[in-house]
Amino acid sequence: MWRPRSLSDVVRNSVKTGSDREIVRSYPYRSACPSSVWGELTEGASQDITLAGFTNYFLWLDQPAYVDTLRRKAEGGCRVRFLLGDPEGEVTRQREAVEDVALTVSTRIRITLEHLAKLGESPGVEARFSAASDATNHVSLSVFRFDRDALVTPHLARVVGHDSPMLHLRRQAERGLFDRFADHVEELWERGREV
């Protein structure tokens, strides 16, 4: 039986409270997020840009002159980190079989490595491969951090990253959603090996 909602129900469903305050926006597909969001978050970051997708390759296609942008950010004192999957790793090969697409996971990682080589020895830019023991955890979740904002993509079973959902998070409090994902990346980073 239908009953009218109370004012408190309407307010509770309309106003973010608790941990959901950290969710700025959700996208049913990562590719539905405007490229301007990625550009604005990159430009706005002054302390930390951590790109922890398994391949990160789409950034080079989506963001004009991204190598130059990242070099400028690093020269301005922003720490820029890339956490990648190992293009020769077993999990990479397994994921290629699952996705079964022409642009393989290892090729997408190598595209990022080529662009990182263009950055050269820029101080403030670091790159690591996730440890073999962490590769399964890394391939299933991409976290892109820009200071207090993060774009997070949990990868669905058989689809490539751009077809998986994405959350835009903004840190509001300790131990919220943002911190949980940031801690996940830091754990993977600590066990990773230099590219």
Whole-structure pTM value = 0.89
Reading the block at residue 164, the tokens are 């998986």
Amino acid letter at 165?
A: P
Is-contact 57 162, C-beta < 8 A? Answer: no
Q: Look at residues 23, 34, 32 and name the one whose alpha carbon lies nearest to residue 162.
A: 32
Q: Look at residues 86, 104, 88, 107 and name the one whose alpha carbon lies nearest to residue 96.
A: 104
Spatial neighbors of 115 by CB under 8 A, at least 6 apart, are 60, 66, 67
Length of the chain: 195
Q: Report pLDDT for 9.
A: 52
Measured between its terminal Cα atoms, the distance across the chain in Å is 61
DSSP 156: P
Q: How far apart are CA 186 and CA 69, in angstroms?
A: 23
Q: Report pLDDT for 89.
A: 96
Q: Report pLDDT for 17.
A: 56
Q: Report pLDDT for 177.
A: 95
Q: Report pLDDT for 4.
A: 63
Digits of tens for pLDDT over the chain (195 positions)?
Answer: 555 665 655 544 555 555 679 999 999 999 999 999 999 999 999 999 999 999 999 999 999 999 999 999 999 999 999 999 999 999 999 999 988 889 999 999 999 999 999 998 888 999 999 999 999 999 999 999 999 999 999 988 877 788 899 999 999 999 999 999 999 999 999 999 999
Q: Report pLDDT for 97.
A: 92
